[in-house]
Chains A and B, each alone.
Chain A
Amino acid sequence: MQEDGTIAASDHTAPARNHGTAPGTLPVVSLRGVTKRYGNGTLAVRGLDLDIAAGGFVSLLGPSGCGKSTVLRMVAGLSPVTAGTIDWPRATHDARGTPRPKLGFVFQEPTLMPWQTAIDNVALPLRLEGVAKAERHRRARKMLALVGLSDFAESYPRELSGGMKMRVSIARALVTEPEMLLLDEPFAALDEITRFRLNNDLLRLWEARRFTAVFVTHSVFESVYLSERVIVMAAGPGRLHSDLSIEAPVQRDEAFRTSPDYAALCRTVSGALERAMAA
């Protein structure tokens, strides 16, 4: 496989390495021995080591319940780690010495405030930061244009389709120009046609802005189409199973989606996932 240049899959079952980070450059985020036990005793994640390089597009792939959401929520600081550390070597620190990486988060549901228009939903993070109304609307309008919703700035969420709501949600996550965008199965509830379009839109945004993307999905096809790197997780307790580089053309489009290369890559990742589920 590696010889024909379409895939460079690293060892499938080895513990994590400083994969994806060129020597000498600091990763955006660095997880060491991260473990999560919920209050009810569930061991959701155990001993996760993971470095994520700046500007990459990484997918977390695994069966339902293997702790993908838990990892993402811990990285976002929404859920405390039980053991281990999460470091942000490149982030600025606040007065108390706590790192404050700029993050964006996209949930599986659009998670919009139904009482606010699309533009006010997008401007929410800026409003919470105390940015003046004119300025935050200017920036929110720019983001809406970027996701193709200029004409719907004044619409309420209930007037938008599922795909449009998800675009608003992505625009909101990007309005603060975050260093890292965390996405938790954002397109899982959408129909295939809409999902494909949003995949392409997300890639286009990522190419334009070069934030670090961490994309949680349970779809092999989606992970291969989008990512430079796929982390396969195994369940019970959640842990890293394999760490694969996807060496595919930079240009990901419908031609790539139907190419034999894509099919071969999917087969490799699918095999890793199968082994992870058997492990």
Chain B
Amino acid sequence: MTPPDEALPQERRFLGLSAGTWPRILAPLVMGLLLLGGWEWAVRHFAVPAYIVPGPVQIAQTLVKDWPTLSGSLAVTLRITLLALLVAVSAGVALSVLFSQSKWVEMTFLPYAVMLQVTPVVAIAPLIIIWVDNVQASLLICAWIVAFFPIVSNTTIGLNSTDRNLVDLFRLYGATRWQTLVQLRLPAAMPFFLAGLRISGGLSLIGAIVAEFVAGTGGASSGLAYRILESGYQLQIPRMFAALALISFSGVVIFLALSLVSHLMLRRWHESALKKDR
């Protein structure tokens, strides 16, 4: 190790983050504050009634006031979302592995996976809700249908695009199918799978919300979509916005969390996670 050379410019850091990271956090933050400020100002200046567009301040107040109901609904929606994502990941990866082991399986089932994907979930949700007695289970199925395909298609592409020379090398050393799958194909498919996972995270939230809308059931265990419907009927528009804000926020958190997972898993080796140090 050479001691730091005074003559060389050192990377500047503020509060533990490199100087280059701050604009990426600050710029959207400032933009958001400006937008919210402008919104609040417009609502007050033009005296827009709260049942048409409430201001951010009022929405925040409603969020605090109605937190007991809203947080319960948030928990319900998030539970469905995460459960759907979990099932989509395990079923999706399992199906992709089957596809990669046999061209016949792929030829037989891939069209149906595509069909499941291209059929709008709103169109099949009523059927599913009728067929499946349990509301929670039917919501879960709807969210899963939406989240499933990106995992399957991305992981399948990943498993099939393994370096052919590496596959040959495994064959040269007499590797078993299982060794080739676990030590070669699955790690090689990881970046593709993670890209699919990030898409599916957002989609499973959308699927859960859409299904809740269609189900539209009330009661103790109902999610954020139901709160939006309910607030609409009761003309409690600030509450509607509060529920909407929670949905958006959840979506962003899910995306950031999955991006972080992806970064942590790939940072040592994959191009996509490289620091742009050139």
Among candidates B166, B175, B270, residue contacting A111 with C-beta atoms closer than 8 Å: B166
Among candidates B169, B175, B188, residue contacting A105 with C-beta atoms closer than 8 Å: B169
User: Interface range on chain B: under 10, 10 to 19, 20 to 34, or 35 or more?
Assistant: 20 to 34
Q: Which of A107, A128, A157, A176 has the most CB of B within 10 A?
A: A128
Partner-A contacts on B (CB < 8 A): 163, 165-166, 168-175, 179, 183-184, 187-188, 190, 268-271, 274
What are 10 pairs between A and B in contact, CB < 8 Å? A113-B188, A115-B187, A124-B169, A125-B173, A127-B183, A128-B170, A129-B173, A156-B269, A157-B269, A158-B269
User: Do A128 and B179 form a contact, CB below 8 Å, given A114-B269, A156-B269, A157-B269?
Assistant: yes
CA A77 to CA B270, docked complex, whole Å: 31
CA A105 to CA B166, docked complex, whole Å: 11
- Distance (Å) between the CB of B140 and the closest chain A CB? 33
A190 within 8 A of B: no
Q: Which residue of A lies closest to B166 (CB)?
A: A111
A14 within 8 A of B: no
- Distance (Å) between the CB of B90 and the closest chain A CB? 22
Contacts of B190 in A (CB 8 A): 115
A8 within 8 A of B: no
Q: Which residue of A lies closest to B175 (CB)?
A: A128
Contacts of A73 in B (CB 8 A): 168
Q: Which residue of B lies closest to A158 (CB)?
A: B269
The 6 lowest CB-CB distance pairs between A and B, nearest first, are A111-B165, A128-B173, A114-B269, A115-B269, A107-B165, A125-B173
Contacts of A109 in B (CB 8 A): 165
Inter-chain residue pair count (beta carbon < 8 A): 51
CA A162 to CA B59, docked complex, whole Å: 58
Contacts of A157 in B (CB 8 A): 269
Contacts of B168 in A (CB 8 A): 73, 76, 78, 105
Interface SS, A side: loop
Q: Which residue of B lies closest to A114 (CB)?
A: B269
CA A157 to CA B274, docked complex, whole Å: 13
A205 within 8 A of B: no
A103 within 8 A of B: yes
Contacts of B184 in A (CB 8 A): 113
* Docked complex: A67-90 residues within 8 A CB-CB of B: 73, 76-78
Q: Which residue of A lies closest to B180 (CB)?
A: A128
Known A111-B165, A129-B174; further 17 A-B contacts with Cβ < 8 A = A76-B172, A103-B172, A105-B168, A105-B169, A107-B165, A107-B169, A109-B165, A111-B169, A113-B188, A114-B269, A115-B188, A124-B169, A125-B173, A127-B183, A128-B179, A129-B173, A158-B271
Contacts of A156 in B (CB 8 A): 268-269
CA A103 to CA B168, docked complex, whole Å: 13
Q: Which residue of A lies closest to B270 (CB)?
A: A114
* Docked complex: A82-140 residues within 8 A CB-CB of B: 103, 105, 107, 109, 111, 113-116, 124-125, 127-129
Contacts of B188 in A (CB 8 A): 113, 115
CA A125 to CA B170, docked complex, whole Å: 8
Q: B187–A113 contact, CB under 8 A?
A: yes
Contacts of A129 in B (CB 8 A): 173-174
CA A116 to CA B270, docked complex, whole Å: 11
CA A115 to CA B184, docked complex, whole Å: 10
CA A137 to CA B211, docked complex, whole Å: 53
Q: A128–B165 contact, CB under 8 A?
A: no
- Distance (Å) between the CB of A127 and the closest chain B CB? 7
Contacts of A124 in B (CB 8 A): 169, 173, 183
Contacts of A127 in B (CB 8 A): 183
Contacts of B163 in A (CB 8 A): 111
Contacts of B271 in A (CB 8 A): 158
Q: Which residue of A lies closest to B266 (CB)?
A: A115
* Docked complex: A36-60 residues within 8 A CB-CB of B: none
Among candidates A105, A115, A158, residue contacting B172 with C-beta atoms closer than 8 Å: A105
Among candidates A78, A111, A115, A116, residue contacting B171 with C-beta atoms closer than 8 Å: A78
- Distance (Å) between the CB of B192 and the closest chain A CB? 13
- Distance (Å) between the CB of A139 and the closest chain B CB? 14
- Distance (Å) between the CB of A37 and the closest chain B CB? 20
- Distance (Å) between the CB of B1 and the closest chain A CB? 13
Q: Which of B169, B171, B179 has the most CB of A within 10 A?
A: B169
- Distance (Å) between the CB of A99 and the closest chain B CB? 13
- Distance (Å) between the CB of A161 and the closest chain B CB? 15
CA A113 to CA B269, docked complex, whole Å: 9
CA A103 to CA B165, docked complex, whole Å: 15
